[in-house]
Amino acid sequence: MRKIYYYSLLLSLVAITSCRKKTKTDQDRAIALVESGYEKSGQKLDFENAKLDSLYNISPKAYGDSIKKGNELDATLARLESEIEHLSQAESDSVGLISAQLTKERYRLLELAKTKPTFVGWKLSGVKIEAPQPVIKNFKFDKEITKIVE
């Protein structure tokens, strides 16, 4: 009786393991899309060095840099404002011009800071296309990796 139980348990595990559907990774789906686009061309594709990266409307690093630089500009502008009071008119005017330029840059950075990084899709880079002249291409995909964009 015990043998039958173990055999049925083993058989169940084998059935579950073999029936389980292998899930594709994001990179697998991206590669499959690129391959489907090139299957009729006869060109050989090499994905060995391909890398899948996420795409943002503005990179998180650029966003962080703009916030940091904006804070630094705020400190510089505050220092300039306090120094203008003690200067002669001519000196005050030249410092005022510098302050105006820095203020313009600060407004530009504030606009950039309003644009929070937003995920817009994926990029598969480093796909080598074998041809008489080998080419390395990059492909952009939508968020769900269902189609190639651009």
Residues 2-38: tens digit of each pLDDT: 566 555 545 555 555 544 444 578 899 999 999 988 8
pTM above 0.85, yes or no: no
Do 50 and 64 lie in one domain? The reply is no
Q: Is the pLDDT of residue 137 over 60?
A: yes
Helices and strands per DSSP (H, E), number in the chain: 4, 5
Do 68 and 40 lie in one domain? The reply is no
Q: Which domain holds residue 95?
A: 59-116
Decide which of 91 and 13 is more confident. 91
- Distance separating alpha carbons of residues 93 and 43, to the nearest angstrom: 66
- Distance separating alpha carbons of residues 120 and 143, to the nearest angstrom: 6
Token pair of 1 as six digits: 């009786």
Number of domains in the chain: 2
Do 82 and 109 lie in one domain? The reply is yes
Do 140 and 97 lie in one domain? The reply is no
Domain for residue 88, yes or no?
yes
- What one-letter code names the amino acid at 101? Q
